[in-house]
Amino acid sequence: MASCLLALIFMGCKKSDTPSQDLSDSQSAISKRTCGSYEVLQEQLKTDPGLQQRMDQIEAFTKKFIASERYRQTNSTVTIPVIVHVVYNTPSQMINAQQIQSQIDVLNEDYNDQNADRTSLPKNSFQNVESGGFNVHFTLAQAKYVKTKTKSFSTNDAVKYTKRGGDDVIDPQHNLNIWVCNLGQNLLGYAQFPGGAWPTDGVVILYSAFGSKAKYSGGTYIPTYDLGRTATHEIGHWMNLRHIWGDDGGSCSGTDYVDDTPNQASENYGCPTWPHISCNNNGDMSMNYMDYTDDACMYIFSQGQTARSLAVFASGGPRAVLAGN
pLDDT digits (tens, 9 = 90+) for 124-152: 999 999 999 999 999 999 999 999 999 99
Percent of the chain with pLDDT over 90: 87
pLDDT score for 22: 46
Q: How confident is the model at residue 75 (pLDDT cuts 50, 70, 90)?
A: confident
Cβ-Cβ contacts under 8 Å for 288 (sequence gap 6 or more): 244, 261, 298, 300, 301, 302, 305
The pLDDT score that the predictor gives to residue 4 is 37
> Higher model confidence: residue 4 or residue 86?
86
Terminal-residue alpha carbon distance, the chain: 33
pLDDT digits (tens, 9 = 90+) for 244-259: 999 999 999 999 999 9
Spatial CA neighbour of 22 closest among 207, 189, 296: 207
CB 75 within 8 A of CB 132: no
Domains, the chain, ranges and CATH?
30-313 (3.40.390.10)
Average pLDDT, integer, range 113-127: 96
**pLDDT at residue 23 in the model:** 53
Measured CA to CA, the distance from residue 29 to residue 308 in angstroms comes to 35
Segment 283-309 shows an average pLDDT of 98
Point out the catalytic residue in the list 59, 69, 130, 234.
Answer: 234
- CA 252 to each of CA 126, 241, 264, 304: distance values in angstroms, whole numbers, following the listed order: 20, 18, 6, 19
Which residue, 169, 190, 182, is CA-closest to 43?
A: 190
Using DSSP, state whether 247 is helix, strand or coil.
coil
Instruction: Report the mean per-residue pLDDT for the chain.
Output: 91
234 is catalytic: yes
pLDDT in tens, 2-54: 333 333 333 333 333 333 344 545 555 698 999 999 999 999 999 999 999 99
